[in-house]
Amino acid sequence: MASDARADHAWSRVRPPTAALAGLLAAGACSLLLACAGTKPAPEAQNRCPPDRPGCQVVVVFTDVGLGERVARLQGQLSAEQPTASYSFDAAAGETLRLKLEGTAAHVVLTQPDGQSSAGLPGETLLGAKGRYALRLAANTAAEDAYGPFQLELRLIGKP
């Protein structure tokens, strides 16, 4: 029995640090879980103006879809109060811009990095310069459906 008493005595000297370490680990894990549960997820890229700035120029966020192609899908609304929507994006020289517009009738104007503009864009446009481009949609007030929602898909396709 004397040996059992020594073993219990030895165990009592080892156990408190082990128990303290286990307690610290449990408290740390609990704190970590609470910290993770309390944080908001990162906001998604929205490709839209904040509600308090209806006339702003939206910087387009593209998603890389592979093989040198990036895509952005934009939604908006043209109205008498806000008859235009403006977007900007960066592109490389030699990339092709492919756009698809659905919804309300709108005029499309592309402004190049050097400031030159072209209206009435075809479905595909070869971009000749590296830099920031601006794309503007304006309600076509001569059309019956001049105002309303639109969906715009932009694709940037790299040189083959």
Distance CA 39, CA 41 (A): 7
pLDDT digits (tens, 9 = 90+) for 55-99: 678 999 999 999 999 999 999 999 999 999 999 999 999 999 999
Instruction: Answer with the residue of higher pLDDT: 8 or 80.
Output: 80
Q: How far is CA 100 from CA 10, 64, 103, 129, in A?
A: 78, 18, 10, 22
- pLDDT for 156 equals 97
